[in-house]
């Protein structure tokens, strides 16, 4: 048996896919309290294996640092691991800028930029900070 290995451009010309992937939804709490899971309309990939460049995550209107971006097991999700935990009750948004980003489908159709989209926040408990006692403890919220 002979296998034919195609690069992204060749796959696109072979299957005739002209539709770029689009953002469908995002949620925190599926994996843990510091991972935002993004879901797209079709399989996605990055030719450079960089799955965080171009994405911005804001928590209560403050831009948070993304430590890593990884392709989900089903190839239709990207997991953005945040440096800081996201707490229950926070308003979370995600946006994407295609100029520095390089997310595309398997036919090399580049995903377009999108503005701030709401992220479903299903985070579990949260760390509370008691400024008066200058101590931290875990509390279920």
Residue 57 falls inside a structural domain: yes
45: its two tokens: 């990939």
Residue 61, domain extent? 8-139
98: its two tokens: 């295609």
- pLDDT, one tens digit per residue, over 100-112 is 999 999 999 999 9
Residue 52 falls inside a structural domain: yes
Helix segments in 1-141, DSSP class H: 8-15
* Separation CA 98–CA 15 (nearest Å): 24
Contacts of 31 (CB under 8 A, 6+ apart): 37, 79
Share of the chain above pLDDT 70, in %: 77
Q: 126-130 and 135-139: which strand pairing?
A: antiparallel
Q: How many domains does the structure of the chain reveal?
A: 1
Q: What is the CATH number of the domain that holds 97?
A: 2.60.40.1220
Residue 3 falls inside a structural domain: no
Q: In which element (H, E) is residue 62 found?
A: strand 62-64
Residue 2 falls inside a structural domain: no
Contacts of 72 (CB under 8 A, 6+ apart): 37, 78, 79
Predicted pLDDT at 82: 97
What mean pLDDT is reported for the chain? 84
* Separation CA 51–CA 60 (nearest Å): 23
Per-residue CA distances from 131 to 66, 76, 134, 136 (Å): 27, 42, 5, 9
- pLDDT, one tens digit per residue, over 5-59 is 455 544 544 467 899 999 999 999 999 999 999 999 999 999 999 999 999 999 9
Predicted pLDDT at 43: 96
Residue 76 falls inside a structural domain: yes
């Amino acid at each position: 048996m002979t296998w034919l290995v195609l690069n992204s451009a060749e796959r696109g010309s072979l299957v005739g896919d002209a539709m770029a992937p689009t953002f469908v939804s995002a949620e925190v709490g599926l994996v843990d309290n510091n991972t935002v899971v993004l879901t797209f309309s079709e399989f996605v990939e990055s030719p450079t294996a960089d799955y965080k460049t171009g994405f911005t995550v804001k928590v209560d209107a403050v831009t948070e640092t993304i430590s890593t971006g990884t392709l989900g097991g089903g190839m239709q999700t990207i997991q953005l691991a945040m440096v800081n935990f996201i707490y229950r009750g926070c308003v979370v948004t995600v946006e994407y800028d295609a100029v520095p980003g390089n997310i595309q489908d398997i036919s090399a159709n580049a995903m377009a930029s999108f503005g701030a989209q709401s992220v479903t926040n299903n985070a579990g408990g949260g760390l509370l900070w008691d400024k008066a006692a200058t101590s931290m403890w875990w509390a279920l919220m």
